Structure 1
Amino acid sequence: MPVISLPVIWIIIIDIFAWAFFHLFISVLCLRLPLEFFLKDTYWFKIFRWERSGQLWQKWFKVKKWKSSIIDGTIFLKKGYGKKSLHGSKIDDLKIFATETKRAELTHWLSILPAPLFFLWNPLWAGWVMILYALLFNLPIIIVQRYNRGRIQSIIS
């Protein structure tokens, strides 16, 4: 049972605006983080051996077939580093691209976190729909970032 009881039309409107707010706020927040923050090799962004330089994501999810259909968030904010294609083939270009995949990955992990808040004003079933939305919207993008970074890191090394 939601903490706040509202008519269905208001719940839908609040859901739409809340998701828009969270997505934009988190995106802007992550865009403000300096590139140096993502240059560190932290455990969170490590491409693990079991990912086989991104090949695992291709094998399980056929990433190459659908990754081009994902809209790059930079078109909405008119800022950031577009990841639809490489910005060059030099080692430094590849390193920057790989680093920017970490920014995108963090943005999408953080974008999942607000989902439980929707239980405050949504009926229980709709709260679970919001959780499902957060996962279905963000996990494919996270998978693409890990796939691309794994491939780039194998090229660099």
Structure 2
Amino acid sequence: GEKDSNIVNEFGCLTGDIEKGFAESEVIVEDRFEIPFIDHAYLEPEAGISWLDDYGTINIRVCSQVIEHFRDVAEVLNLPHNKVRYIGTMIGGGFGGKEDITVESFIALLTLKTKKPVRLVYTREESLLAKFSYCFITGNITSG
């Protein structure tokens, strides 16, 4: 990544003549694939606590795989980034499912408005309803 950036890595995509590639292939495989609705169903549900410290900074302790979300929470609250502190906790399981913002904005907003600590823990039903999970996907793939 660059020194003054939070970009860790960039990926590119190679393009070419697809018809030529198929013409030169010994074998071409074509099929239709269906992936059903999937949820990560990790052991602990989405949860977090937030509080204001003596400097007026909103502290958020949350089980997340991406602590950089403090920027998004700051934008939701219309606060400078240095007024939101994100503290990651141990993760019992995530599998990529704890990369999105879940409870953070809600608890931070309630803390900002009430000036009191806030705790929110989703039930399994709330977890399934409130967050993005992998949706049903159907695709035709040709490979050669």
TM-score (norm 1): 0.22
Higher strand share: 2
Q: Greater helix percent: which structure?
A: 1
* TM-score normalised by the chain length of structure 2: 0.24
Rg comparison, structure with higher value: 2
